[in-house]
Amino acid sequence: MSLNFCFIGAGNLATQLAKALFSKGHHIVQVFSRTETSASTLAQLVNADFTTNPAEIVNSSDVYFIAIKDSAFSEVLPKIDFGNRLVVHCSGSVLMNVLENYSNNFGVFYPLQTFSKQRNVDFKNIPVFIEANNRENEELLLNIAAEISEKVTILDSERRRTLHVSAVFACNFVNHLYHIAGNILKSKAIDFDVLRPLILETALKVQAFEPAEVQTGPAVRFDENIINLHLAELSGMPEYQQLYETISKRIFEQQKK
């Protein structure tokens, strides 16, 4: 069954999701973005029309995917005529019910992944979390999600937000630690590349184990001597020093449990 979709937003998530759905034979009718180059770039990839004007969005799409910044919802959505069709957003922390003002048919389609325009991801392994205002819409969203992912689950708004918070730690904050590690190396002119095998192995380890089972390093060994050497090493970077102390203490205390 081939459906018609509109994408409101043309960022990282919209790009990857639209491409995945397009590859399954669905028709991407139209892409909206306030930035013309973003709209036209995605539109071209999925053989769609594009617009930068919310008033020009067609009102006959089967599903509208809202993939814009959460803070832009209240500015953009009131300008769109959704023709009472199914409107879903793709945000981790926005309640489903914010959509009830725009259509009688609404829901959430939340793929838990970090998306970039440059990197294609295989949707097959990406968990997708679904919520809808009624059984019929839920069924439709489950079917669409199951075409691209093997891991589709129904999840309410409250638990989705918890999931999003945890993902911020596991992804966004982790990436920032990679950045800090790179900055520390930069101070001695060592290239970030030396850390790449370590970073990958750290992520691979927890694919099979729980993180607490495979925790390594000075803090988990209670190696105060090394911890103090490291804190001294970071004396010129007080913010990193403080973070080192805080996280080491947390690892130490978790270990005692």
**C-alpha angle 88-89-93 in degrees, rounded to nearest 5:** 140
Query: Minimal CA–CA distance to 6: which of 100, 103, 98?
Result: 103
Q: Which one-letter DSSP state was computed for residue 1?
A: -
Examine residue 146 and tell whether it contacts a copy of itself (CB under 8 A).
no
User: Binding residue for a copy of itself (CB under 8 A) from 112, 130, 144, 152?
Assistant: 112
User: Binding residue for a copy of itself (CB under 8 A) from 69, 84, 136, 154?
Assistant: 69
Nearer to a copy of itself, 70 or 136 (CB): 70
* Window 72 to 101, contacts with a copy of itself (CB under 8 A): 93
- Least gap, CB of 81 to a copy of itself (angstroms): 26
User: Binding residue for a copy of itself (CB under 8 A) from 135, 225, 235, 236?
Assistant: 225
Distance CA(150)–CA(128), nearest Å, equals 9
- Least gap, CB of 104 to a copy of itself (angstroms): 26
Coil, helix or strand at residue 242: helix
Nearer to a copy of itself, 101 or 190 (CB): 190
* Window 226 to 245, contacts with a copy of itself (CB under 8 A): 226, 229-230, 233-234, 239-240, 243-244
132-137's contacts with Cβ under 8 Å and 24+ in sequence apart are 132/88, 132/96, 132/106, 132/107, 132/108, 133/96, 133/100, 133/104, 133/105, 133/106, 133/107, 134/105, 137/86, 137/105, 137/106, 137/107
Distance CA(181)–CA(84), nearest Å, equals 50
Binding map of a copy of itself across residues 46-65, x = CB under 8 A, - = no contact: --------------------
Binding map of a copy of itself across residues 192-221, x = CB under 8 A, - = no contact: x-xxxxxxxxxxxxxxxxxxx-xxxxxxxx
